[in-house]
Structure 1
């Protein structure tokens, strides 16, 4: 069944690359009657309004936490069909924080927002052309505050590129290069033969509730008090990036002249988003696989992009004949890096983040006398299953010090460097130098710190009306 774009908030279909300005407004509901009256009048941008000939000049999107839905009038029983992770919340307990890597300086008790009195009820995302974002966003924010909402925090992002190309995150790397392609019309097959090899195309139900996912089933209650069909779970994390620390470490580890080379191995891509030289590609900067580099000589096994998306089909070896495929599929052959259980198609997310803070060049960031600059990423992603998608990627791939048969190293870009429960270190990074000689970087510092976060529900247009009418 094709997705009804007129009932879907536009963020599901577009990252609004043509809109250079953004503001993220976090609010609490203090007067439910007035707040819901304002929501009933709100006009969030629909997916049907993007992708056509009409130029979009601004967009508004609205999402809610569990606490926000309760404040709007829903009771616990009416929400019990929603994802347990959403109902628990991102900072619900120490076990979840540990699985997500929210420990040490990133632990929720150090967050600027997301817990206690600073737990938001609603998120209003405002995006517009650079020339109009300030006045337009301020007007909408003021209207919400005058109609039953109280402020928690408000953040402006750095301008994105308005030519629609990928923007660059604060470390300087092209961002938004790799995204899954959504089968909006429900045409692709989910049979094993069709997904033997890696394919960036995924079922709409991986992002939208009420649609068939990669298992051939759908999630979400379309008939309850809260209409969930055509909605999605939104993850929002404010990630502070130590830009000077990252580039000064790279310069110290490899020498200033090779700092860029080293940084590209940590990320797993060229700074412009291109595949690392030596990875087989058909020409596109996102058209490559890792099976031709099984030992991580070109792209390190523990690099950020290799963890975030291993680019594995249902069988990581590819097509090798019936008997060999069968032996591999049941786990009787291969290495930890070849684990066929972790097929990428079951663990994809749709990223919608934007940078914030001061932008500086890598060359400037390497100067030892340069003071710390405030910069980071408003990380947002959409998925239909928080447990199987975002939390799996974060816990089993990014943060795990044993990912792909490795040991004592977490994600070199996002890792906390906090010891494993048995006190094993996690601050190593294995790579091969320009001559193919294995190397190990030790005592890697932390480069990214979580400053706030929450799980939100991004309702459909119908779902938003079911909230406003409570």
Structure 2
């Protein structure tokens, strides 16, 4: 089946661009929703994806209305479909743009069709299809088949031999006239990507030779003509022998000339790369709000990306762009299977093209999952291709030899990518609920249903319904707030105060200055009490931080947890929406939090009262407070504290990353959980060796030189002090030794949870997936454990599949185990389901069993959990009487870490290839949640999972360093503000630690 990726670009006047964008946005209701008029018009027309984008021209360039379509059939089918099915809608757009159509809309699109290629005289471009040969009709029919079979298994659980089960399913399908034709299999892309073969010398040499011919053939032709002419002339005038000599000499001269030309091209490229000036600014907040509004739409598993970049000037960059497209195309066709770029499989359709008569390079992509996960895939798995193409555009991160560095600097690359992007208001997808992985799995289900003939094949086919997996630097300790170093278990009593500052910045700064010496830093806290301080973006403004400095903080932090874009991403919708929160929402925004920890209830109450009085006296207010349940302490005669349990009764706080450079890391080596400090602290190298961007302030603001210098060499992934740089005018690093704190107050419906597991135990008793060794009275806990991924005592299902460890070989002395690798030890999810809470929260090697690289990738998304459970909050509202979890975590990048975990792992419907499942514990399924529990005897499908957790308040906060706290407390005080004396005890201890490390 022919598939076409089609682009038409129609010029129009620049002054109409904003109006056209507004018109495109008006059509959004008709593009989404079952009964949208555009959606209905394009249904069953063989259109996979379609978008319409405005590309604004620079001075002397036209502005374009760009139509991008992916269709079954030839390009003309796309134009005819738009001309007949969308004529009324597109005519409105053309009218606003003041574009005069030809005799028909189809002809207008045809006349502006852009055909791309990689030749010297082609329009440069590159197309990619992630599901080659899969028509819209086939994708939808196979999806319907898979859904019917899942429903079948809900009411007819697998029983007996696997092949017998498959035969019964075949009979069921044969009896359905609509499904029966699908028993005839069709070819399909395999479920997983093959490992790409190494770039051996022979392949590289062959690629170089082919490239030489493809891109330098005019030079080769002229030099060849010169060789022939010289040979013939010498032979005719001087004889045969002289002709042979002339041939050899002229060939050598030609070869040297070719090498000189190629070398000159290479040296020219290196000069351009050295002269390139990367741009590292954030996207405008209003633009960012529009981008997030257009993404992560309800009831979709896909997004669309429209990127518009400006080419660097000069013919050489035009040549290197063509070379990049050609090399990527050769790699895609000769080194990877169709539909895959290495092991990346999230793209449905994508294309690059250089827009004729402009300096614009366009990129359109229809992909599965979130923008963050999409970019992370490329950064960690295929950065060379992105670098090769986009290094030819203005402002891209620093590159080497066209293909290297650049996009590997993940944080800067993502900033750059956001700046190129514009919102896609007009976007259609024929199957928005499907990822490429799900499409392939559905095709495999159909293929296997009609062909399996052995027990092994049947067992493998049944496994598809369970989505089985086939197989720096030393930290400046006393600059960092103590919460980074652990959950403060020796301070069992705690309270969280959510506060609002005075409207007077001087008063707010004076209050902060009054408590700055009480804030606790370092990894050895005082024995009696600890104080942790963090600010929201609003809090920074109220202290008087200028807006241009505030804008250097990450977008997610600035927008806030309660903003509409973050709500879509975090699934904070319905009764979880910010407007219903007890605190932190748009109507109850906060400026800061104080986290108090104490060794006794008396100390806590006294200290909380003292701090609250100070806030009131400074014109502020405590808007909300949460008092966690005191942590259990050691029993008489014991040295270790009892296990902390969350309200549902499960051991909590077991899985935590170990930050390299901390005392805990120095004491133990853990390859699974060890993470670079830059994943949690600004100013340190991350997992990929780069220093993530950090907010900066101009030197003129730092009157007392409180902040460290912002070293520009961090952007290159290296750190070397530059003593030639003048510190008088150098920017200062406000973020170093700081981190971002996420707080979410979550109410837990313990009675609903207990009722569900008990009802499910009665409903599924005797199911073949339940292990024979399981004691009957443990069935409710077994169901809960499958949802969580652990038994209540903290023992893992991976190591203890048939019952908790407590009371058996380990007795009451058992401590929760955490050194397992679910991918290597349980690749099929037979012990710990692929959709279980702990497997979603931290997949470890689950997505690529046994892969150290996968552990490294997962560690880029780890969070440091520092929350505590609480009993009833109090108040007259019954909802406030629910116990729950004051979830808190630390991370250096809210988007890449907390939000990634929440969106891409916890609430993604098709995480790990699953079908319409979210986290069974924290997900919001509205009573329609489900969990697939695979087994050798067929899956057990837990259905009707209720909502056990509700969001009641929260915020994104910045937890500053000691130096940053001092700086912020003096923003409004000027250069003569009184400085607190240094604490010699802390300084001496730090010097001792540093000398020990040296």
TM-score, structure 2 as length reference: 0.40
Q: Give the match for residue 352 of structure 1.
A: 866
Is residue 2:579 matched to residue 1:109? Answer: yes
Taking the aligned partners of 1:391 and 1:377, their CA distance within structure 2 comes to 18
Is residue 2:39 matched to residue 1:39? Answer: no
What are the residue-to-residue correspondences of 1:278-427 with 2, within 5 Å? Answer: 278=799, 285-291=817-823, 292-312=825-845, 316-318=849-851, 340=854, 343-358=857-872, 374-417=882-925, 427=929
What are the residue-to-residue correspondences of 1:1-20 with 2, within 5 Å? Answer: 1-20=473-492
Q: Give the match for residue 143 of structure 1.
A: 614
Q: Give the match for residue 63 of structure 1.
A: 534
Is residue 2:590 matched to residue 1:82? Answer: no
Q: Deviations over 1:358-406 (max 9, x none)?
A: 59xxxxxxxxxxx996201100000001111000000000000100000
Taking the aligned partners of 1:373 and 1:259, their CA distance within structure 2 comes to 25
Question: Aligned in 2, Cα 1:317/1:341: closer, same or farther, shift over 3 Å?
Answer: closer
Taking the aligned partners of 1:198 and 1:98, their CA distance within structure 2 comes to 35
1:266: Cα distance to partner? 0.6
Question: Aligned in 2, Cα 1:346/1:165: closer, same or farther, shift over 3 Å?
Answer: farther
Question: Aligned in 2, Cα 1:372/1:172: closer, same or farther, shift over 3 Å?
Answer: farther
| Alpha carbons 1:20, 1:128 under 8 Å: kept | yes
SS at match of 1:272: coil
Q: Deviations over 1:315-341 (max 9, x none)?
A: 53437xxxxxxxxx8xxxxxxxxxx59
SS at match of 1:344: helix
Taking the aligned partners of 1:96 and 1:318, their CA distance within structure 2 comes to 32
Taking the aligned partners of 1:247 and 1:374, their CA distance within structure 2 comes to 14
| Alpha carbons 1:279, 1:288 under 8 Å: kept | no
Is residue 2:649 matched to residue 1:183? Answer: no
1:342: Cα distance to partner? 8.5
Is residue 2:429 matched to residue 1:429? Answer: no
1:108: Cα distance to partner? 1.1
1:442: Cα distance to partner? 1.3
Q: Which moved more, 1:398-407 or 1:149-158?
A: 149-158
Question: Aligned in 2, Cα 1:44/1:401: closer, same or farther, shift over 3 Å?
Answer: farther
Taking the aligned partners of 2:499 and 2:590, their CA distance within structure 1 comes to 5
SS at match of 2:538: helix
Q: Give the match for residue 170 of structure 1.
A: 647
1:45: Cα distance to partner? 4.2
| Alpha carbons 1:14, 1:50 under 8 Å: kept | no
Residue of 244, 248, 251 corresponding to 2:758: 251
1:184: Cα distance to partner? 1.4
Taking the aligned partners of 2:688 and 2:620, their CA distance within structure 1 comes to 40
Q: Give the match for residue 237 of structure 1.
A: 744
Taking the aligned partners of 2:501 and 2:859, their CA distance within structure 1 comes to 37
Q: Give the match for residue 201 of structure 1.
A: 674
Q: Give the match for residue 215 of structure 1.
A: 688
1:314: Cα distance to partner? 9.6
Taking the aligned partners of 1:267 and 1:118, their CA distance within structure 2 comes to 33
Question: Aligned in 2, Cα 1:122/1:385: closer, same or farther, shift over 3 Å?
Answer: same
Taking the aligned partners of 2:856 and 2:929, their CA distance within structure 1 comes to 24
Q: Give the match for residue 367 of structure 1.
A: none
Is residue 2:439 matched to residue 1:439? Answer: no
Taking the aligned partners of 2:605 and 2:613, their CA distance within structure 1 comes to 12
Residue of 449, 452, 458 corresponding to 2:950: 449
| Alpha carbons 2:736, 2:961 under 8 Å: kept | yes
1:233: Cα distance to partner? 0.4
SS at match of 1:179: coil
1:62: Cα distance to partner? 0.6
Q: Give the match for residue 48 of structure 2.
A: none
Q: Give the match for residue 522 of structure 2.
A: 48
Q: Which of structures 1 and 2 has the larger relative contact order (alpha carbons within 8 angstroms, sep 6+)?
A: 1
| Alpha carbons 1:24, 1:156 under 8 Å: kept | yes
TM-score, structure 1 as length reference: 0.83
Is residue 2:568 matched to residue 1:98? Answer: yes
1:353: Cα distance to partner? 0.4
SS at match of 1:213: coil
Question: Aligned in 2, Cα 1:390/1:227: closer, same or farther, shift over 3 Å?
Answer: same
1:74: Cα distance to partner? 1.1
Question: Aligned in 2, Cα 1:294/1:242: closer, same or farther, shift over 3 Å?
Answer: same
SS at match of 1:118: coil
Q: Give the match for residue 324 of structure 1.
A: none
**Structure 1: gaps of 5 or more residues:** 189-196, 320-328, 330-339, 360-370, 419-424
SS at match of 2:945: coil
Q: Which moved more, 1:76-85 or 1:303-312?
A: 76-85
Q: Deviations over 1:259-298 (max 9, x none)?
A: 11111111001111111264699x9601111122122111
Question: Aligned in 2, Cα 1:185/1:246: closer, same or farther, shift over 3 Å?
Answer: closer
Q: Deviations over 1:7-30 (max 9, x none)?
A: 111011121111111110011111
Q: Deviations over 1:106-145 (max 9, x none)?
A: 1112111112341000101111023321122222222222
Question: Aligned in 2, Cα 1:223/1:72: closer, same or farther, shift over 3 Å?
Answer: closer
Q: Deviations over 1:78-111 (max 9, x none)?
A: 1222111101111111x32122121121111211
Q: Give the match for residue 153 of structure 1.
A: 624
Is residue 2:935 matched to residue 1:462? Answer: no
**Number of equivalences:** 421
Q: Give the match for residue 411 of structure 2.
A: none
Q: Which moved more, 1:286-295 or 1:390-399?
A: 286-295
Residue of 267, 288, 305 corresponding to 2:788: 267
| Alpha carbons 2:583, 2:589 under 8 Å: kept | yes
Taking the aligned partners of 1:209 and 1:270, their CA distance within structure 2 comes to 36
Q: Give the match for residue 605 of structure 2.
A: 134
Q: Which moved more, 1:298-307 or 1:99-108?
A: 99-108
Taking the aligned partners of 1:372 and 1:154, their CA distance within structure 2 comes to 12
1:313: Cα distance to partner? 8.5
SS at match of 1:116: coil
Question: Aligned in 2, Cα 1:416/1:185: closer, same or farther, shift over 3 Å?
Answer: closer
| Alpha carbons 1:313, 1:344 under 8 Å: kept | no
Is residue 2:495 matched to residue 1:23? Answer: yes
After the TM superposition, which parts of structure 1 deviate over 6 Å for at least 4 consecutive aligned residues? none
Query: Which of the pair is proportionally richer in helix?
Result: 2
Quote the RMSD (CA, aligned, Å). Answer: 2.9
